[in-house]
Amino acid sequence: MSNTKKQTDESKTMLYIKHEKQTDMYTISKDISKYSTYLHNMLDIVMNCNDANPIVIKHGEPKHLAFVVSYMKKCLEEKTEKQAPEKPLKSVHLSVILKDEYELFNNLVKIEDFPNNIYVLHDYMKVADYLGCKQLFDKFSSVVAHILMNQSIEKLNAIV
């Protein structure tokens, strides 16, 4: 099968995404892209194209998009995504809240690096929100709330 034919067949089932600041493209299945309202809305446009032109994301940094794409692939392709908690549980470790997905979030920030960790998480939240990934946005919100719950009043007043 020629490369052009293979690329055309793949473009019928795959969606290509890249950040404006990088040349690397991510591929996700069009079924998984429905998790993101933004990507789902872009499907109509992409379906009419027979090439591998990527959807270019301009929000956040490339590492933020990389995380969202890896989350979508890991949790949605493997069908292991858990519901976001309605509110974080007091005095419970974050791994209990995020369950199997804890490892994905664990290396994003250092919990003790307050308030920088809040700003970093906010950047990830903006990309998840822009892409319309509500479950992921809610999980980031839970992580932020969990971090804030464990801070002293003095530390919280210092960032307001």
Q: Can you state the percent helix, strand and coil of the chain, rounding each to 5?
A: 60, 10, 35
Q: At what angle do helices 62-71 and 116-130 cross, to 10 degrees?
A: 70
Q: Are 16 and 55 a contacting pair, CB within 8 Å?
A: yes
Query: pLDDT tens digits, residue range 113-150?
Result: 888 888 889 999 999 999 999 989 988 888 888 888 88
Nearest-angstrom CA–CA distance, 125 and 127:
5
Residue 41 tokens read as 């809305």
Q: What is the pLDDT of residue 61?
A: 93
- In the chain, what are the domain boundaries? 3-159
Query: Binning pLDDT at 50, 70 and 90, where does residue 106 land?
Result: confident
Q: What is the pLDDT of residue 12?
A: 65
Q: What is the pLDDT of residue 74?
A: 83
Q: What percent of the chain has pLDDT over 90?
A: 22
Chain mean pLDDT for the chain: 81
Q: What is the pLDDT of residue 52?
A: 64
| CATH classification (class only), 3-159 | alpha beta
Amino acid letter for position 104 = L
CA-to-CA separations, 48 to 43, 65, 115, in angstroms, rounded: 9, 24, 45
Q: What is the pLDDT of residue 11?
A: 53
Nearest-angstrom CA–CA distance, 110 and 118:
10
Q: What is the model's pTM?
A: 0.78
